[in-house]
Amino acid sequence: MAFVAPPLSCHPLPTPNTKHSLHSIFTPKPNASLSFCATQTHQREPLTSTHNSLSQPNLLQEINNLCDSGNLSEALTLLQADSRNAISSLQQKKDAMGALLQACGRHKDVETGRKVHDLVSASTQFSNDFVLNTRIITMYSVCGSPSDSRLVFNGLQRKNLFQWNALVSGYARNELYGDAIDVFIELISVTVFKPDNFTFPCLIKACGGLLDVGLGQVIHGMAVKMGLMSDVFVGNALIAMYGKCGSIEDAVRVFDLMPERNLVSWNSMICGYSENGFSQQCYSLLRKILEGEESLVPDVATLVTILPLCAGKGEVNIGMVIHGVAVKLGLNQELMVNNALMDMYSKCGYLAEAQVLFDKNDKKNVVSWNSIIGGYSREGDVWGTFDLFQKMQMEEEKVKVNEVTVLNVLPACLEESELLSLKKLHGYSFRHGFLYDELVANAFVSAYAKCGSLTSAERVFHGIETKTVSSWNAVIGGYAQNGDPKKALDLYLQMKYSGLDPDWFSIGSLLLACAHLKLLQHGRQIHGFVLRDGSETDSFIGISLLSFYIQCGKLSSARVLFDRMEAKSRVSWNAMITGYTQSGLADEALNLFRQMLSDETLPCEIGTMSVFEACSQLSSLRLGKELHCFALKARLTEDLFVGCSLIDMYAKSGCIEESHRVFDWLVKKDVPSWNVIIAGYGVHGHGSKALELFGEMVSLGQKPDGFTFIGVLTACSHAGLVKEGLKYFNQMQSLYGIDPKLEHYACVVDMLGRAGQLEEALNLIHEMPEEPDTRMWSSLLSSCRLHNNLDMGQKISEKLIELEPEKAESYVLLSNLYAASGKWDDVRRVRQRMKEMGLQKDAGHSWIDVGGQVYSFVAGDTSLPESGEIKKMWSRLEEKISKFGYRPNTGSVLHELEEEEEKIEILRRHSEKLAISFGLLKMSKGATLRICKNLRICVDCHNAAKLISKVVEREIVVRDNKRFHHFKHGLCSCGDYW
């Protein structure tokens, strides 16, 4: 036991508060022998005057000076010369050899270390010296060559505990944790030595590295039995081990029971909390240190442990407080702290603050550059990212670009427009050999795929010499996510043939590919594999399966999977709610959202947007307002996407004024927010206001995109602003460089058709660079029906039915065209064909929100409990509006009936009339009626609604499948143009 001293790698250096100091053991002092040498011989050789005499120069002092200045080769030469001439005493030579071996470790100079090893081995006096051989073992391990350490250890004729400790420490230092455990087992099995307070910290570190908490608890028990729990280094190592293994309660227990704690103990506990996501506990411990707990002062390790937690949680306010603490303690000048602060600010979105710290840093290292480059890259600032990258290359003498730098630049390359920059970066990485790094090569595969160059992605992939599962995942994921899911499946089969098994990422990419291709059966087979493999409980796999079923339209299967999830994450809730919303099942989406809140899971921005969309689909203004209040309290409205969803929700719920109010509240108005408000005014028929907003948007320097012009052209179409619409359509390419797409042509065709310019609309279709789709022909056919152009309508219907022979709407439009022209034989022929094909016309369906509950009505339905009251209400209304000139427009009845009264009775049972009557029965006086309809409102219902708004003195808002109608004081906002 007398030969034991702690190896450096086992534990952090002690703080000034620590009672035991290792400095004297491991740092050779001028004119002094090494302390463990005295321990070995049980006596200290006194320094004689000969050591400092002019005739005998002080070898140790000279060696120390050369080592401090990094001149190890010169130190070796001096040592070799001294050995040949036998100038210095044996003790001084031994100390000098030990000092040089330590310096070789510090400078990672294994070649010089080998030569010192040869000197020791060739010396009869020192070849079996315990201390020097221990130094050699440690030197090799510090230089990253633990195999050489083992060879030296195995070649020793005599071993003491110190050398066993050095070997265990060496393996732990080089992350060969299994080997460290094996050496320990060998130590207690074949020797008489008892592990001590220097063995255990290294051993406990190995348990942490293996994440083997069970073995760690066994070692903990041994330490207790041997009475070593009072040692601060053993306690610190246990805290760190339990923290890494996720057993935070055990770490707290060790921390609380430690008889002596130093700053490392507190830092280890903070690190344990941080690694396990307990941010508040981290901050609490820091607060206790700052309040003077145990007279400790935070150091660099304390701050660089907590700052990444602030970065990960986005808690910039706490990060700023820690910044203040660093300034007060003078730690902000420390490079590690400065880098951590910069990283925290950039990850929290405060890039300007990070840039200030970077600019003021005079000691920038590669971490500093990588951190600021990563910040710009995450923000999507391509120019800023590559500008910094170029400046870093100019600093090559001080700092060199490494693989991490390239990995930080790559996230900026996400769009096709960045392909050239990506290729330049690829060339640079190729020239500097970075592509040999698997992570870099895989990242280039993903980047090329995201930039739309799948061939380049595959070329990089084929250039990877040894392809791992991660390499295959990169290329499979690239194809699955970026437009070629079939190729993704082919590559997966190739991976299987190469002998590699898929991991969770492979499964996620396969499910995504199957979802894109709607390969339900293949996806179910993958689900079966997941069940057999037992990985369905993995959160990533669960979300991937959920998304697969949702995208394949199997909401019931998705819901079964969702309900079976034991731990539902916020992502899974959002995915399910979004799935219901996108499938038009708004009621189910809202019900699930309520269940989510009752489950005490708070939605994020994405989930909130989906619920706003559900409210939009139902035109449920009351629910939308309640959700708006919730989003305000949860501070979600600060997000631009949530803000756009709010604008859209109010617009689609018939409240364009409230929609504009939300738009005005936005602190930052981007192009999507302008697009939403312009489209909102357009669908409400306020074409002039939409164009006014477009002009304001352009004058403020915002660059309109394709979606902007869809909103502008739609607004012109609904307001009959044909001249203005054609002007903006022509300006798209000439002024703004935007090539018109099919959607833009469809808007212009609809605009011309509504205005009766059918020939012009047809000519535009023929002149288009793209083939027209069914929606365009359907729009023109509706215009033919509106303007009674039977000849053109028949020709268009032939095109429409040719494209979609099994779509009922095409036959219904043709039937209505014939009915409007009184061609009942043709009507019967079309309907007979529909019957033979099993096609059915959608019934008129309207719904109204009363007191937060949505009530639905189908045309002609008399089975409702309130049907009697509704009929009486309509009779009273019809009587009143008849006095103001209402006459049923039987031309709106597209049925072959001879009796006018029969036609009038059908008109009375139109779904919007039922909804209006119900609303007047159930809602308070003066309240606005907001009604939605699945079909276009007919002329008779439109005329009736205008007059009803006058006689009941309230506003009626009807949203049909094309636009909004605001009925007030006997007028409609559409000006009878729809």
- Give the burial class of 317: count Cβ atoms within 10 A of its Cβ; 0-12 exposed, 13-18 middle, 19 or more buried: exposed
pLDDT computed for residue 900 by the predictor = 84
Segment 704-727 mean pLDDT = 96
**Beta carbons within 10 angstroms of residue 68's beta carbon:** 12
Beta pairing, strands 929-933 & 845-850: antiparallel
pLDDT computed for residue 426 by the predictor = 94
pLDDT computed for residue 57 by the predictor = 54
**pLDDT tens by residue, 417-472:** 889 999 999 999 999 999 999 999 999 998 998 888 888 989 999 898 888 999 99
Distance CA 686, CA 679 (A): 10
User: What is the token pair recorded at 647?
Assistant: 């604008």
Residues in a beta bridge with 576: none
**pLDDT tens by residue, 528-557:** 888 887 777 778 888 999 999 999 999 999
Whole-angstrom CA distances from 686 to 382, 689, 721 are 39, 5, 11
Q: Is 41 a residue whose pLDDT tops 50? A: no
Q: Is 575 a residue whose pLDDT tops 50? A: yes
Q: Which residue has the tokens 């809730």?
A: 573
- Residue 154 sits at the vertex; the CA angle it makes with 149 and 156, to the nearest 5 degrees, is 100
**pLDDT tens by residue, 364-416:** 999 999 999 999 999 889 999 999 999 999 988 889 999 999 999 999 988 88
**pLDDT tens by residue, 180-206:** 999 999 999 999 999 999 999 999 999
Residues in a beta bridge with 927: none
Q: Are 30 and 64 in contact (CB under 8 A)?
A: yes
Domain boundaries, the chain: 59-156, 159-260, 592-666, 669-772, 774-841, 845-972
Q: Is 27 a residue whose pLDDT tops 50? A: no
Concatenated DSSP letters of 790-851? HHHHHHHHHHHHHH-TT-HHHHHHHHHHHHHTT-HHHHHHHHHHHHHHT--PPPPEEEEEET
pLDDT computed for residue 300 by the predictor = 95
Q: Are 884 and 952 in contact (CB under 8 A)?
A: no
In this structure, which amino acid lies at residue 243?
A: G
pLDDT computed for residue 25 by the predictor = 26
Residues across the chain: 978
**Beta carbons within 10 angstroms of residue 328's beta carbon:** 11
Q: Is 851 a residue whose pLDDT tops 50? A: yes
Q: Are 167 and 149 in contact (CB under 8 A)?
A: yes
Q: Which residue has the tokens 């833009």?
A: 744
Confidence of residue 35 (pLDDT cuts 50, 70, 90): very low
Q: Is 522 a residue whose pLDDT tops 90? A: no
Q: CA nearest 205: which of 194, 196, 195, 215?
A: 215
Q: Are 289 and 298 in contact (CB under 8 A)?
A: yes
CA 902, chain centre distance (Å)? 61
> In this structure, which topology does domain 774-841 adopt according to CATH?
1.25.40
In this structure, which amino acid lies at residue 177?
A: Y
Strand order in the sheet with 964-968: 853-858, 845-850, 929-933, 956-959, 964-968, 971-972
Q: Do the domains spanning 159-260 and 774-841 agree at the CATH topology level? A: yes
Backbone angles phi, psi at 959, to 5 degrees: -110, 110
Distance CA 557, CA 579 (A): 12
pTM attached to this predicted model: 0.67
Of the chain, the percentage scoring pLDDT greater than 70 comes to 94
Of the CATH numbers 3.40.225.10, 3.40.50.2000, 1.25.40.10, 3.40.640.10, which one belongs to the domain with range 159-260? 1.25.40.10
Q: Is 634 a residue whose pLDDT tops 90? A: no
- Lowest mean pLDDT segment, chosen from 129-138, 415-424, 679-688: 415-424
Backbone angles phi, psi at 103, to 5 degrees: -65, -40
**pLDDT tens by residue, 745-803:** 999 999 999 999 999 999 999 999 989 988 899 999 999 988 989 999 999 998 888 88
HSE-up (13 A, CA, CB side) for residue 145: 18
Q: Is 516 a residue whose pLDDT tops 90? A: no
Residues in a beta bridge with 931: 848, 958
Q: Which residues contact 848 (CB under 8 A, 6 or more apart)?
A: 854, 855, 857, 915, 918, 919, 929, 930, 931, 932
Distance CA 663, CA 657 (A): 10
Segment 167-186 mean pLDDT = 95
Q: CA nearest 405: which of 394, 389, 387?
A: 389
Distance CA 715, CA 695 (A): 14
Residues in a beta bridge with 967: 956, 972
End-to-end alpha-carbon separation of the chain, Å?
98
**pLDDT tens by residue, 642-657:** 999 999 999 999 999 9
Give the CA dihedral 650, 653, 654, 659, nearest 10 degrees: 0
Confidence of residue 864 (pLDDT cuts 50, 70, 90): confident
